[in-house]
Amino acid sequence: NAGVTQTPKFRVLKTGQSMTLLCAQDMNHEYMYWYRQDPGMGLRLIHYSVGEGTTAKGEVPDGYNVSRLKKQNFLLGLESAAPSQTSVYFCASSSPRTSGTDIQYFGAGTRLSVL
Amino acid sequence: KNEVEQSPQNLTAQEGEFITINCSYSVGISALHWLQQHPGGGIVSLFMLSSGKKKHGRLIATINIQEKHSSLHITASHPRDSAVYICAVRLGAQKLVFGQGTRLTINP
């Protein structure tokens, strides 16, 4: 099992460019999450999904869109990147309905710089 | 004020010392998590607890619901324990709120 895989690991964008971050999990988890981690701050939830075809806004959703067309994949899109979106992005998944816990499994992170 | 406060923010100790990291929260919660973020960036879950105490190897986590406080202890600390330790609380069905983390450095 690979667990949670994020691609790419690093990316540099110019202001205004778009990109998509891919998260894939092979644990058959229902729930998936996108977080951003900034210096001096805790992880903040951008968007999450509780199942295929459903998404919901988290704490800091502005400037991001997501899609969950397949249960194993959760995509995070930046339509027009801004320097304020320079951050480390983490994807996570969990299976509270089947495991009875909300322990989340994290990907290795994507380091994004927007110039 | 942050909903989750960790202390200390940074902690440096010598190998073998007993380590305590604290987490205080300001709202009612249904569960609390401790996570470890390795120097390379990966994040792993250590504990989830809603009452009492849990132990795994040299790590012990405790929670006092009435005082809204949790502690993570490391016994016989080792340089490989050097990492950022993160406390997170579950407020709603899917929402985890994370503390800023405590950076622990264990010197040989």
Chains A–B, number of C-beta pairs less than 8 Å apart: 49
Asked if A102 reaches chain B (Cβ–Cβ under 8 Å), the answer is yes
Give the one of B90, B94, B99 whose C-beta lies nearest to A42's C-beta: B99
Q: For residue range B42-68, what is the model confidence (pLDDT) as tens digits?
A: 899 999 998 999 999 999 999 999 999
- Output the pLDDT for position A114: 97
Cis peptide before B8 (omega within 30 of 0): yes
- Output the pLDDT for position B28: 83
Q: Kindly list the residues from chain A whose CB atom is less than 8 angstroms away from the CB atom of residue B98.
A: 42-44
Q: Kindly list the residues from chain A whose CB atom is less than 8 angstroms away from the CB atom of residue B48.
A: 101-103
Q: Work out the minimum CA distance from B108 to partner chain A, whole angstroms.
A: 27
In the predicted model, is pLDDT for residue B20 greater than 60? Answer: yes
Nearest to A106 by CA among A42, A25, A38, A41: A25
Is residue B93 very low, low, confident or very high in pLDDT (cuts 50, 70, 90)?
A: low
Beta-bridged to residue B86, according to DSSP, are: B35
Work out the mean pLDDT of chain B and round it to a whole number. 93
- Output the pLDDT for position B33: 95
Is residue B24 very low, low, confident or very high in pLDDT (cuts 50, 70, 90)?
A: very high
In the predicted model, is pLDDT for residue B1 greater than 60? Answer: no
Give the one of B2, B31, B43 whose C-beta lies nearest to A90's C-beta: B43
DSSP at A105: E
CA distances in angstroms from B21 to B1, B9, B37, B60, B75, listed in the order given: 19, 9, 14, 11, 12
- Output the pLDDT for position A86: 97
Question: Rounded CA gap, B21 and A59, in Å?
Answer: 26
| % of chain B beyond a pLDDT of 90 | 79
Q: For residue range A47-97, what is the model confidence (pLDDT) as tens digits?
A: 999 999 999 999 999 999 999 999 999 999 999 999 999 999 999 999 887
